[in-house]
Amino acid sequence: MFANTFPDRAEMARLTARMLLEIKAVNFRPENPYTLASGMVSPSYIDCRELISFPRIRSALVDFMVATVYRDAGFEAFDSVAGGETGGIPYGAWMADRMGLPMQYVRKKPKGYGKNSQVEGVLHPGQRVLLAEDMTTDGGSKVKFVQAIRDAGGLCNHTALVFFYDIFPGTQERLAAEGIRLHYLATWHDVLAEAGDYFDAATIAEVRKFFADPFGWSVAHGGKGAD
């Protein structure tokens, strides 16, 4: 069960950023940008899935996530925790265990045979579900997972995650319009604040340019811009 001393939010963000940098989950490559699923190109890439292979780090992060949810949403606000396929499933399991709650997981789409379920596990009508994820860029997949939980009879208005990009305008407003509140530990801005121990100043300066204007930077480097 959860046993956390509720560290300051800023300290949780700083430590989360340093954990990501320490295990090299953060990658900066301005000279050979990464191509994202959207078609944009980016000088930065983060792989939160690497966190699951570091037991001490993942334990601390799950404690931070639970502390954040308890502080922001309440101690008795949820009846279960659901993980989104695939990155959110381990966090759903770990958070459910910490919070002493049942767990479900949500497929990206119905499995197409058998009961054709999209939400797996026992979900009772009216159950208050916390969606757990590893990260989000613009929140699009979170809306789809939340809608699947709602379609299955659950009540879902909150999602907890380790990392939020926080560089694309309007993300939290779009989620709020869908009745979804985002709870996160760190953003790219937190990572940049700690990155000086891991990357040179020129690389960090170029990454800052991308964060200030991601669509413009992408177009200037041969990638997709805003729709």
Tell me if the domain spanning 9-220 has CATH number 1.20.5.440. no
Domain ranges of the chain: 9-220
Lowest-pLDDT choice from 94-108, 179-193, 213-227: 213-227
Which one is predicted more confidently, 154 or 113?
A: 154
pLDDT confidence bin for 4, thresholds 50/70/90: low
Contact 129, 80 (CB under 8 A): yes
Phi-psi region at 112: left, alpha or beta (left = phi > 0; alpha = psi -120 to 50) = left
Quote the pLDDT of residue 208: 96
pLDDT confidence bin for 227, thresholds 50/70/90: confident
**What Rg value do the Cα atoms of the chain yield, rounded?**
18
Quote the pLDDT of residue 138: 84
Mean pLDDT over each residue of the chain, to the nearest integer? 94
Contact 26, 44 (CB under 8 A): yes
- Structure tokens that stand for 131 in this block: 């969606």
Residue 120 and residue 149: Cα distance in Å, rounded? 10
Q: What is the dihedral of CA 140, 145, 150, 151, to 10 degrees?
A: 100
Chain segment 8-61, per-residue pLDDT in tens: 999 999 999 999 999 999 999 999 999 988 899 999 999 999 999 999 999 999
For range 63-75, the mean pLDDT: 96
Quote the pLDDT of residue 213: 95
Quote the pLDDT of residue 75: 95
> What is the enclosing helix (H) or strand (E) of 157?
strand 155-164
pLDDT confidence bin for 5, thresholds 50/70/90: low
Query: Above 90 in pLDDT, residue 173?
Result: yes
The residue behind tokens 């770990």 is 94
Query: Above 90 in pLDDT, residue 218?
Result: yes
